[in-house]
Amino acid sequence: MTDLPRIDLTQRLAGRVAVITGGASGIGLATAKRLAAEGARVVIGDMDATTGPVAAGLVGGLFVQVDVTDEAQVDHLFDEAARVYGSVDIAFNNAGISPPDDDSIETTELPAWQKVQDVNLKSVYLCSRAALRHMVAQGRGSIINTASFVAVLGSATSQISYTASKGGVLAMSRELGVQFARQGIRVNALCPGPVNTPLLQELFAKDQERAQRRLVHIPVGRFAEPEELAAAVAFLASDDASFITGSTFLVDGGISSAYVTPL
């Protein structure tokens, strides 16, 4: 029997340049580490001027401070990645917030609604647009936008603006995936279930009952780890996902497939 050629997965993304927003912590940082381990050069875009450079140092990459709601700053992030490293091959548009004043529609006021929409949805529009300027010229690229499982089903613990913003990310990603498919560019929406990140820990720290209400719906019986989402992003970024675009890529521990899960 002829030996099959071996694939070195540690070099699956060799030569690729990846821009990650929200890259200084949580899913973003885990993904930065994973993409770098697979050979990519990583540019971390984040608001935090303290943790951002540390994160970039961990992956031997570049840090660019960015407010993802600001068009000029977003354009600068992607232009700087191309200037320093020569291309923009992967865009993981991941920055997002889930503040406590975004709750039920009955109690969430307009300023809270608008802030979440700006950070979670407007930023994905701006980042996708900036990435596409480079990717269209190159004739290749992979964009992964962080949506959520709440983009495909209603949440038991309402965060009305967050849910609406993630639904928008999902719909926009689907349309971009269709629109740019013949130009060599793939666009997919990553839809995580609840992930064990500082954002989630903060959300549930003062309300254990709320956390348990989430856990009861997860067939796997636990929250995801950031590294599990990072693995999904690495796959979508790679040529292994060459026929996947416009997808709703659920990494949710089975939540969206479950009718009910007993304790």
The per-residue pLDDT for range 223-240, each reduced to its tens digit, is: 899 999 999 999 999 999
Other C-beta atoms closer than 10 Å to the C-beta of 104 total 10
Q: Examine the pLDDT at 89 and tell me if it is beyond 60.
A: yes
Q: What is the mean pLDDT of residues 190-203?
A: 82
What confidence score (pLDDT) does residue 178 get?
98
Nearest to 23 by CA among 13, 31, 15: 31
Phi/psi of residue 46, nearest 5 degrees:
-160, 155
Q: Which helix (H) or strand (E) holds 57?
A: helix 51-58
Q: How many CB atoms lie within 10 A of CB 41?
A: 23
pTM: 0.93
Q: Is the pLDDT of residue 189 over 80?
A: yes
Looking at the predicted structure, is the pLDDT value of residue 179 above 90? Answer: yes
Give the chain's mean pLDDT: 93
- Homologous superfamily in CATH for domain 10-254: NAD(P)-binding Rossmann-like Domain (3.40.50.720)
The stretch 113-117 carries a mean pLDDT of 98
Other C-beta atoms lying within 10 Å of the C-beta of residue 49 = 10
Residue 54: enclosing H or E segment and its boundaries? Answer: helix 51-58
Q: Which two tokens stand for residue 35?
A: 């993409």
Inter-residue contact 96 to 23 (CB < 8 Å):
no
How does residue 86 score in pLDDT terms, banded at 50, 70 and 90? very high
Q: Is 77 within 8 Å of 52 (Cβ atoms)?
A: no
**What's the N-to-C CA distance of the chain in angstroms?**
50
Range 87-91 average pLDDT: 98
Q: Is 162 a catalytic residue?
A: yes
223 Cβ contact partners less than 8 Å away, ≥ 6 residues apart: 193, 194, 195, 196, 200, 214, 215, 253
Using a pLDDT cut of 90, give the percent of the chain over it.
Answer: 81
Cα–Cα distance list, 213 to 9, 57, 221, 250 (Å): 38, 38, 12, 20
- Name the active-site residue from 85, 125, 162, 259: 162
Residue pair 228/158 in contact (Cβ under 8 Å)? The answer is: no
Token pair 């303290």 in the structure block, residue: 50
